[in-house]
Structure 1
Amino acid sequence: MSVDQPRRMVLLRHAKADWPDVPDRERPLADRGRQDAPLAGDWLVSQGISPELTLCSTATRTRETWKLLAPQLPKRPKTVYEDRVYDASPGELITVINEVPDDVHELLLVAHNPGVQGLAEVLTGSGEEDARERMARAFPTAAMAVLTVNGSWKSVEPGVARLDAFWVPHP
């Protein structure tokens, strides 16, 4: 694949987590989260999105979200559980994205707020106005922003992406 071809990036906030008396990193999904994660996978399939690589936070709730979403996809992508994605700022997430190999065309990032929403807002330089406004108002659990970037993953920086879609499981 040429580095000049557009690449698609899906930014997924983990599904709804429970609040048991455990460290934050170990919080599991709540019942609603276990219902919403497969819906996110169904939506990706309905949009013809087939990630080749998933970068997933190592937190329990993100791993559970991915485990419930992945079976919905026609082909399971390579998965990398990346500790740097947990509690990461938009800048830290960009650093991780910049390391994605150029042969990856579609990337799924499963992470946390406020980093995911901040990343989506920082990267988005253009796109459908209604979707941009909805995303700026709230980025709820299991929500996804679908962004297109031109050039290599190394060239991803603020303002370079187009927001193609913003999906939430419970509008």
Structure 2
Amino acid sequence: MKRLILMRHAKSDWSVGTPDHARPLNDRGRRSAEALGDWLRTEDILPDQVLCSSAARTRETLDLLHLGDLPTRFEDRLYLAGPSALLKSLQAATGATVLMLAHNPGICDFANAVVARGPNHPRFADYPTGATLVADFDIDDWADARLGKATSHAFTIPRELV
């Protein structure tokens, strides 16, 4: 079995006037990211590899999860990526439990496409900032990951945690 933790970055700060790729988190986003890290630890859902967009807000979200020193690939192709790019990146993963941090609208589309049936949650369909899906694949190698083949294990949003 392989496990995917699919997380949209926490709430970013639009007031700073930086280019989109360099936009940091706002105060609420920083609190949310820390709460998501606490949730992952409480649920004992810990990654052994990270695939992260190269954008500032995904990097900052990752740092604030406080997951320790994990093998991490910062990938430009995950910045504003669509489902096919996200799947391609995942298929090159090597960990047993992979955390993927990316952006909407692609991450929402990917979350909805990757599971055979989405979790019964009112916010799954729109995947707000910080939304996190945990999905299991019955495969031995990420190269065999396909859309519609994962089973939803858990889903949360920061508003439920903070």
TM-score relative to the length of structure 1: 0.88
- CA drift of 1:80 comes to 1.3
Q: Does 1:49 align with 2:40?
A: no
**Residue of structure 2 in register with 1:18 after alignment:** 13
Partner of 1:9: 4
Question: Once the two structures are aligned, what percentage of the paired residues are identical?
Answer: 41
Q: What TM-score, normalized by structure 2, do the two folds share?
A: 0.92
Amino acid paired to 1:147:
A
Query: For residue 153 of structure 1, what is the aligned residue in structure 2?
Result: 142
Shift of 1:134: 3.6
Cα deviation per residue 1:87-107 (whole Å; 9 max; x = unaligned)?
Answer: 100011001111112xx2100
State whether residues 142 and 168 of structure 1, in contact with CA within 8 Å, keep that contact through their aligned partners in structure 2.
yes
Gaps of 5+ in 2: none
Q: How does 1:126-137 map to 2 (within 5 A)?
A: 126=117, 128=119, 130-131=120-121, 134-136=123-125
SS of 2:116's partner is strand
CA distance in 2, matches of 1:142, 1:127: 17
Q: What does the per-residue CA deviation read over 1:100-152, in whole Å, with 9 as the maximum and x for residues that have no partner?
A: 12xx2100001101111111111110364x14x5411x211111000000112
Number of corresponding residues: 158
| Structure 1 residue identity aligned to 2:62 | W
Question: Are the aligned partners of 1:127 and 1:164 in contact in 2 as well (CA < 8 Å)?
Answer: no
Deviation at 1:169, TM superposition (A): 1.1
Distance in 1 between residues matched to 2:153 and 2:69, nearest whole Å: 23
Alpha-carbon RMSD across the aligned residues, in angstroms, is: 1.3
Q: Residues of 2 paired with 1:141 and 1:30: CA distance?
A: 12
Unpaired segments ≥5 residues, structure 1: 1-5
Q: Distance in 2 between matches of 1:79 and 1:98?
A: 15
Mapped to 2, the partners of 1:43 and 1:123 lie a distance apart of: 22
Q: Please tell me the residue identity of whatever aligns with 2:129.
A: T
Tell me how far apart the structure 1 counterparts of residues 45 and 98 of structure 2 sit (CA, whole Å): 10
Show CA shifts across 1:33-83 (max 9, x none): 1111010000001111110001111101111111111x2x3x532111111
Verify the 8 A CA contact 2:53 2:74 in the aligned structure 1: yes
Aligned 8 A contact 2:118 2:124 in 1: no
Which of the numbers 74, 77, 80 marks the counterpart of 2:70? Answer: 77
- Name the SS for the 2:100 alignment partner: strand
